[in-house]
Amino acid sequence: MSKYIINPCSGMKIEAAKGQIIEIVDIDGGQVVDFFAEMRTNSDEFVSPGVTIDCNESLRLNVGDIIYSNKYTPMFKIVYDDVKEHDLIHPCCRPEMYNFFYHNGKEHPNCLDNINGAIGTSHPIIRPINLFMYTKINADGSIEVCTPLSKANDKVVLEALADVTLGIAACSVSESSCNSGKCTAVEVVVK
């Protein structure tokens, strides 16, 4: 068993083999985790929220659901979930997003750079599974990012269905309700 702490506003590369269990723990509660992964043998095949929505025919993730790659390959199975509210819509935060909404993108830590830096890639955009992120979808189609529902030590548990390289970031947005107005650390356990 290996334990990792991902500090606030940072990212980490973690290897996981097919059949291993991955626990993502929100240590303090209210913290979003940008969860991204590539196939270990092919960085051009990676987690796809869009394909995951398509295959599960849902904007929500439930225990038993599969997270798919951009090539429709099963990558993870959700085996346990304390929170049951995650976001499949938003891309990683990036300097341009901070400039657009908050006018502070220069040198702002962000999940795009943190994940690319951790796994040694240069994806121009990363669409992660935003664990614990609460995006309310209104009847008129508008969306609202709300305070996460996760409480201290809530977790999501995944089974790896392939050999993968994980790129995981503790989200850097402190300017809104996205991370309850502050950024905190998360724990990842691979066993």
Q: What is the pLDDT of residues 95-135, one digit of tens each?
A: 899 999 988 988 899 999 999 999 999 999 999 999 999 99
In terms of Cα–Cα distance, which of 36, 135, 38, 126 is closest to 89? 135
- Taking CA atoms, 81 is separated from 4, 115, 175, in Å, by 19, 23, 27
- Read off φ and ψ for residue 159, nearest 5 degrees: -105, 125
Contact 4, 167 (CB under 8 A): no
pLDDT at 54: 98
Which has more pLDDT, 186 or 107?
Answer: 186
pLDDT band at residue 153, thresholds of 50, 70 and 90? very high
Residue whose token pair is 């995951």:
52
Overall pTM > 0.85: yes
Written as six digits, the tokens of 7 are: 């500090």
- Average of per-residue pLDDT across 46-63: 97
| % of the chain exceeding 90 in pLDDT | 93
pLDDT at 47: 98
pLDDT at 3: 98
Beta bridge partners of 135: 145
Residue 96 is inside which H or E element, if any? helix 95-102
